[in-house]
Chain A
């Protein structure tokens, strides 16, 4: 776009466009630096709540309504759990997930199924927190033994999310 010196309006427009583009780029970079959480729950109410709780801690949140959708998002739906194939690692390129929070009781792929699949895959180092409205000791130990970072009782509160964040942020590698 050519600057027309005789026109007072146009010279202002170009720097502003650049500013906007720079702002957008900064915002994108900031988003990439933010803690990215997958929130998996079949209840629309609980998804909305969890999203708000996490956003209160400046997390970037992706809500998914089922275990299947979560597996699909992570590229784990159609193939085996190994990360050997190059096509799989290409799928994962650019996709960053810092934490997965999943409900336990979901139709189809349960939170426990999701946990096991994640722990046997390329994503095995991503902490998985399992949530449930029911306090069942055998369920809790099963999840913890299955590799869950934490088991939390619903409904979650700000203090619960704060607790997880503190623990996980401590163990995050400085990238």
Chain B
């Protein structure tokens, strides 16, 4: 595939992520903050998000496996996940966290048990999509082109 095709593919892919609600305008803000001084800013922030989310999702799984569920602690974790997904524009993850928090507040075990796998699922989808997008960007850079904004 030539450079122009790659660039077009990237733009289309990115647009679809917004249309399908995986990303919202906060992700655009991240891209606007990237410049020559910080050419890897978006990748760095998103990588932090991946690390942080995986930790939080593990902690949430552990919390739900306990005999006595600490809803307050769980709520704090979900709040963190909601915050970080909001900060990078991972819209679907953020929206699910709102639902999850409602279940925690209501101390609804079944609700939580139903919600956690959904959050994990949405997280893994957005992670895969963002990684694909970054790969596409890297291909463009390797081909000597610039990443379209």
Chain A residues engaging chain B, CB cutoff 8 angstroms:
43-46, 48-49, 52-53, 56, 105, 107, 133, 154-155, 157-158
B residues near A43, Cβ cutoff 8 Å: 52, 80, 83-84, 87
* Residue in chain A with minimal CB distance to B33: A52
A109 to chain B, nearest CB (A): 16
Name the one of B29, B48, B79 contacting A155, with C-beta atoms under 8 angstroms.
B29
**Which A residues are in CB contact (< 8 Å) with B13?**
none
Query: B33 to A155, Cβ gap below 8 A?
Result: no
Residue of B nearest to A49 (CB): B87
Which of B29, B49, B86 contacts A158 (CB under 8 A)? B29
Complex: A105 Cα to B52 Cα, angstroms: 17
In this assembly, does B26 line the interface, its C-beta being within 8 Å of a C-beta of chain A? Answer: yes
Q: Which residues of B contact A154 (CB under 8 A)?
A: 83, 86-87
User: Closest Cβ of chain B: how far from A124's Cβ, in Å?
Assistant: 29
Does the CB pair B83–A52 fall under 8 Å?
Answer: no
In Å, the complex CA distance between A52 and B33 comes to: 7
Using a CB–CB cutoff of 8 Å, the interface residues on chain B facing chain A are: 26, 29-30, 32-33, 38, 41, 44-45, 48-49, 52, 76, 79-80, 82-84, 86-88
Verify A46–B83 contact, CB threshold 8 A.
Answer: yes
Q: Which residues of B contact A155 (CB under 8 A)?
A: 26, 29, 86-87
Task: Compute how far the CA of A133 lies from the CA of B82 in the bound complex, rounded to whole angstroms.
Answer: 9
A154 to B87, CA, bound (A): 7
Q: Is A45's CB under 8 angstroms from B88's CB?
A: yes
25 A-B residue contacts at CB 8 Å? A43-B52, A43-B80, A44-B52, A45-B49, A45-B84, A45-B87, A46-B84, A48-B44, A48-B45, A48-B48, A49-B30, A49-B33, A49-B87, A52-B41, A53-B33, A107-B76, A133-B83, A133-B86, A154-B83, A154-B86, A154-B87, A155-B29, A157-B26, A157-B29, A158-B29
Chain B residues whose CB sits within 8 angstroms of the CB of A133 once the complex forms = 79, 82-83, 86
Distance A169 CA – B37 CA, assembled complex (angstroms): 25
Asked whether B38 lies within 8 Å of A52 as measured between CB atoms, the reply is yes
B11 to chain A minimum Cβ distance, whole angstroms, is 23
Inside 8 A of A46's CB, which chain B residues have their CB? 83-84, 87
* Chain B residue contacts of A44, Cβ below 8 A: 48, 52
Contacts of B76 in A (CB 8 A): 107
